Amino acid sequence: MIHRTLRSRLTAPRGSEALVGTVFDGQYRVHAWIGGGAFSNVYRATEEEGAGHDIALKVIRKGQSDHARAQTGMVESHAFEHEVRYNQMIQSAGLVRSYRASRTSDGIDYIVMEFVRGEPLDQRIRRKGPLHLGHVRLLAEQILEFLADAHGRGIAHGDLKSGNLLVCDRSSFRAKVIDLGHARSFRGGSHASAHLVGTPGYLAPELVDGGLVDPRAELFAVASILYHATSGHLPVQTKRNIAEERLEYLRDSSRPIPTTPLRDLRSDCPPTFEHALAWALSRNPAARPNSIRAFLERLQESFEHFPSPPPWEFDEKEEEVSVPERAWRWLRGLWPGR
C-alpha cells in the first residue's frame, strides 16, 4: 500500500481512477488515487459531512476479496476486517492508523485510514539513493519501537519491508509502518500459510517452506530493511533479483547472507553496525538476537559512531489534481480563479 501525494512516476492501474471525483459509499469524496497493493487501491478522500480532513480509503479491487483472504489465511468474511482488528490492537505512534472497515451496498470492502503525506521507503531509496547514516539510526529506532509494541502484544507484522514503511513529509525524519494485511499472532505458534506470505527480499530462510513465524524472523526483516537503507541494495542479490531466484538462494544453505558485506557497499558504515546486521541476518534463527532489546542494544553500540542526522529533505512538488477534483474545488471556492 502507498500513501503518496507528491508527483511521481507511479501510474494508476487501469480502472483505478474511476472513483476519482465521485462520492464513494455516499460518504467520502475521492480526490486522487495515491497508490495500491496486491489486492487494493488507495485514495485520498474527505468526508462529505464533517470538518473535511483528509483521510485515506483502501478499497479492494473488484473480484479480489476471496483471493485476498485465501492468500493471507484470513478467516474473516470481510477482506479488511483482519487488518483493522490487528491495527487497533497496536498502540505505537509508528503505525498508520486504520479507523474502520466497511462494505458498500454492492459488496465492495474498504478501510477508512489515517492519511499521511509521504512516500514508501523503497521509492525514496530508488529516487535519492541510500539514507544518511544519521537517518538510518532513526529508522532503526523507530521500526524497533513499533515492533516492541506489536511483539509485546503477541503480534507479528508478517510482511515487514521497505515498501511497507512510509517516510513522512516533514522537517525531521519519521517512518511509519503500514499494511497489517498479513499480521498474525505468535501465541500458540504460527506457521507460514500454504501460500507464501512475505516478500522474498526480506523473508527469513526458515519461512520459505513454511517454518515458524517468530520474533527472530521479524528481526531478519528489520535487518534487511536497514541493509537496504544503508546500501541501496537488498541483502540477498541474484542474477536477475526476481522472487523465484531469491527463494532458491534462501533455500541453499551454502550461500551467504548478505551476498555482499555491507562495508563493501558503504565504506563509511561502522564495522560494529555491519556486525549487528550480520547477526540478525543469520541463516539459523537460533543464531540471531533472541529479543528486540538485545538487537537494539547491539545497534546502539554502533550508533555511537554515527554522525548526527541532518534535517530531513522532502520534495515540495506540485500535487497532481484531476479535472473532476479541480471542478469540485472551484465550486467550493478552493481553486484559484473563482
Residue 1 belongs to a domain: no
Residue 137 belongs to a domain: yes
Q: What percent of the chain has pLDDT over 70?
A: 80
* Residues 157, 280 share a domain: yes
Final residue of a domain: which of 90, 117, 144? 117
pLDDT band at 330, cuts 50/70/90?
A: very low
CB proximity list for 4: less than 8 A, separation 6 or greater: 10, 34, 35, 118, 119, 120, 123
What is the per-residue pLDDT for 66? Answer: 52
Final residue of a domain: which of 117, 135, 158? 117
Residue 287 belongs to a domain: yes
Average of pLDDT values for 293-307?
97
Average pLDDT, whole number, for the chain?
85
Residue 262 belongs to a domain: yes
Residue 205 belongs to a domain: yes
* Residues 136, 79 share a domain: no
Residue 98 belongs to a domain: yes
How far apart (Å, rounded) are the C-alpha atoms in residues 254 and 150? 33
What is the per-residue pLDDT for 12? Answer: 60
* Residues 254, 273 share a domain: yes
pLDDT band at 110, cuts 50/70/90?
A: very high
* Residues 195, 58 share a domain: no
How far apart (Å, rounded) are the C-alpha atoms in residues 121 and 17? 24
Task: Tell me the per-residue pLDDT of 261-293, one tens digit each, with 9 for 90 and over.
Answer: 999 999 999 999 999 999 999 999 999 999 999
Average of pLDDT values for 97-113?
92
* Residues 239, 94 share a domain: no
Task: Tell me the per-residue pLDDT of 2-35, one tens digit each, with 9 for 90 and over.
Answer: 444 443 445 566 656 788 999 999 999 999 998 8
Residue 298 belongs to a domain: yes
Q: What percent of the chain has pLDDT over 90?
A: 67
Residue 221 belongs to a domain: yes
**What CATH number did the domain enclosing 95 receive?**
3.30.200.20
The tally of domains found in the chain comes to 2
Question: CA geometry: angle at 245 spanning 186 and 232, to 5°?
Answer: 80
Average of pLDDT values for 181-195?
68
How far apart (Å, rounded) are the C-alpha atoms in residues 43 and 127? 22
Q: Which domain holds residue 36?
A: 16-47+54-117
| Nearest Cα to Cα of residue 95 among 163, 24, 179 | 179
What is the per-residue pLDDT for 258? Answer: 98
* Residues 140, 29 share a domain: no
* Residues 158, 264 share a domain: yes
- DSSP code of residue 95: B
* Residues 128, 34 share a domain: no
* Residues 130, 29 share a domain: no
pLDDT band at 51, cuts 50/70/90?
A: confident
**Would the pLDDT of 136 be above 80?**
yes
What is the per-residue pLDDT for 60? Answer: 87
* Residues 234, 167 share a domain: yes
* Residues 140, 113 share a domain: no
* Residues 145, 103 share a domain: no
**What CATH number did the domain enclosing 198 receive?**
1.10.510.10
- On whether the pTM is more than 0.75, the answer is yes
pLDDT band at 327, cuts 50/70/90?
A: low
CB proximity list for 25: less than 8 A, separation 6 or greater: 102, 104, 105, 108, 110
Final residue of a domain: which of 117, 144, 163? 117
